[in-house]
Amino acid sequence: MKNLTLLEKRLNYKFKNRKLIIEALTHKSFNQPYNNERLEFIGDSILNFTMAAYLYKKFTDLNEGELSKLRSSLVSQHGLYQIAEHFALGDFLLLSDAEERNMGRIKKSLLANCVESIIASIYLDSKENIELTQKFIIDTYEEVFPEINLRSLFRDHKTTLQEITQSLFGEVPEYKVISTSGPDHEKLFEMGVVINNRLYGTSTGKSKKMAEQSSAKLTIKMLKKEKR
């Protein structure tokens, strides 16, 4: 596991009791008398309440159904996975050797659960300071999701990239298999985006569709940098 000081810097929070952050990073497969499941239980409740209050104040024109849809997207496994990626939590997870071989460090479910556990660990470490914990949650979401609205959150990266490439190049992106690896039951696909015969973002996933979405996301970032 990498130095916890690095993770604290990324989280912008220094733990007084490091046992809490270690517990938050510990998967049940790891041979310890504790794991992050109990923390996940607390973190899930804090997160849902915080995002409900945040969205209620931020979007005064949305009805209950729209607010629920928006919150569901933000606190979904996919939404939490994006936050885990932002902090590179996979580098810090404590896993068994078997879970490590099973690609546990990039599993959406494990990483999403870890985010909720970290929220709980901050809450408990700060002596149940809910205001501080909620500030951490909101600051994190606003950094990871600079555009929090129904339109941006419910669009997939491939659709967004297609619109960008049609505008910039007058053509749609092409997705190519770069490589495949692993046994048949755990196949990994490396996909790449090709535009104007140039290879842009490449990414690996357990399915071609997952890898295409990730490579499209990377390509969008690359194109935005090139436009600056």
Indicate which residues carry an active-site annotation.
Answer: 44, 116
Query: For residues 84-122, b (16+ Cβ closer than 10 Å) or e, as one string?
Result: bbebebbebbbbeeebeeeebbbbbebbbbbbbbbbbbb
SS3 readout for 103-160: CHHHCHHHHHHHHHHHHHHHHHHCCCCHHHHHHHHHHHHHHHCCCCCHHHHCCCHHHH
Cβ(24)–Cβ(36) below 8 Å: yes
Q: Which residues pair with 178 in a beta bridge?
A: none
